Amino acid sequence: MKENQYRKPDRYYQAGVVISRALTLILLMLSVLLPWGISPWNTAVAETPQITDLRSGQLETASRLVIETSDPVPVSLLLLVDPHRLVVDFPSSRWRVEDRGASGGLSSPLLKGYRFGSPAPNISRLVIDLDGPAVPEQIFWLPPRNGNHRLVIDLVDRGETAFRVAALALQTNQNMAFSSPPTASSQDDAPGSQVPLPQPRPRPPVTVTDTLTTDNGTANVPPARPSTQTRDEAKWVVFIDPGHGGKDPGAISIHGHKEKDITLKAAKELAKQLEATGQIKVVLSRDRDQFLHLRKRIELARLHQADIFISLHADAAPSSKARGVSVFTLSDTASDKEAELLASRENKADLIGGPDLGATDPEITPALLGIFQREAMNQSSMFANELMLAFDDLPTLKRGHRFAGFAVLKSPDIPSVLIEMGFLSNSQDESYLVDASYRRKIMQGVTQAVLRFLENNNHNLPNEIAINP
């Protein structure tokens, strides 16, 4: 017998035995698990999401679009002009809508039709053809039902300027995604389970009556926005808001001149000049001595789908030396202490009329409200700059473009400015403000600025986008 016949196995032999036994054990596990459809490894590949339904309907004040998806996918929005369209982008998805092809018609008043395609490998795109300048005011997900997730978009026609504001805001924030629908519960997929849709708030009283109760009795509400035929003759609507009124006199000079009277006279002069251009329809928040809450003034401007909101004031300052004309736009932070004081005083004047129970804040999804408001503020600043240029030849001081938290400037979709025409606490400014020729001159500058801003502010809107490569 050879000497090494009974040598112990070396370490390589022992390792081979261990590996062989491990492989045998793995094969045994697979033979047990695989017949039951169980995989010991997480090798599942996510299926491509599907668009499973598309439908539309009409609410009291909005058209509703509902898109059902098989998965909770993030979406982004764009608005396009010439013609008006809403674009909804999804991650790569398949069109699996029963009884609907990849393009077709829709029956809601503001929604004419749709087209679905994939312009890029990782993007699926749904384009909604709009019948007018309808903007999304509400976008939200409903909890899943029957395994499908429901995206709801409510659209409202607020006019061309509101559409432009929304389009630019969405273009600037193209990376904003609307996602995170609620997690399905065990009851979500139960047969017959129903999720109630949000009910629209009733319209404020001013929109359904032709009189408005004020502290001085009843007053006529400005007429409804002109029809399309009249609108073609007047290209734009400018909303003029004479500050204060009724039981709120505003500032009072040492000679007894009241701000509410001066602002009304200035507003009527501005209305006369704007309408003389033949291009502008004017709506006044008040055409007589009456009180209106600040939010009601915003409501009226939005009701008439105004292209510009101009609030006229002639304030007072603690120092009689303060004088000059300023243009204010909205900001959370005041440009200076005096601006902060003026805004605080104007906002508190609203309390003179008691609680404002009739008006409602704009009902817009917070994420949309934030970007729409920022864009409206940008547009307001551009208009303010035009105004200051137009005021160069006024005899009083030019105090520049300033900003503060004026409540009356908080429209989310209308460029809004507050013009401080001068200070009634200053004797020289007072003499200007009560002089019809001075008011005529300052309103000539406002008219020029309005026309320049409106003529130059219809560019940079997106109007082309691909449906398929």
Q: What is the pLDDT of residues 138-169, one digit of tens each?
A: 999 998 888 899 999 999 999 999 999 999 99
The residue type at 178: F
Beta strand segments in 331-444, E? 398-404, 416-423
Collapsing DSSP states into helix, strand and coil, what is residue 192? coil
Please give the CATH topology (third level) of the domain spanning 208-456: Aminopeptidase (3.40.630)
Structure confidence at residue 345 (pLDDT): 84
- The domain segmentation of the chain, as residue ranges, is 50-157, 208-456
* Conformation bin of residue 427: beta by default, left when phi > 0, alpha when psi is -120 to 50: alpha
Classify 50-157 by CATH class.
mainly beta
Q: Which residues contact 149 (CB under 8 A, 6 or more apart)?
A: 68, 69, 70, 71, 72, 73, 141, 142, 181
Specify the pLDDT at position 351: 78
Which pLDDT belongs to residue 343? 86
Give one word for 198, left, alpha or beta, with left for phi > 0 and alpha for psi -120 to 50. beta
Q: In this structure, is the dihedral angle defined by the CA atoms of residues 51, 52, 56 and 57, taken in order, positive or negative?
A: negative
Structure tokens at 368: 């949309």
Q: 75 CB contacts (<8 Å, ≥6 apart)?
A: 88, 89, 90, 151, 177, 178, 179
Q: What pTM value is reported for the model?
A: 0.79
Q: What is the largest CA-CA distance in the chain?
A: 135
Q: Which residues of the chain have pLDDT under 50?
A: 1-7, 32-45, 184-230, 357
Amino acid 374: pLDDT:
95
Determine the pLDDT at residue 228. Answer: 37
CB within 8 A of 89, min separation 6: which ones? 75, 76, 77, 78, 123, 124, 125, 126
- Whether the CB-CB separation of 90 and 152 falls below 8 Å is answered with no
Establish whether domains 50-157 and 208-456 are of one fold.
no
Tokens representing residue 30 in the block:
């697979």
Work out the burial of residue 31: count CB atoms within 10 Å of its CB; fewer than 13 is exposed, 13-18 middle, 19 or more buried. Answer: exposed
pLDDT score recorded for residue 17: 54
Distances (CA, A) of 135 to 78, 111, 357, 383: 10, 11, 27, 22
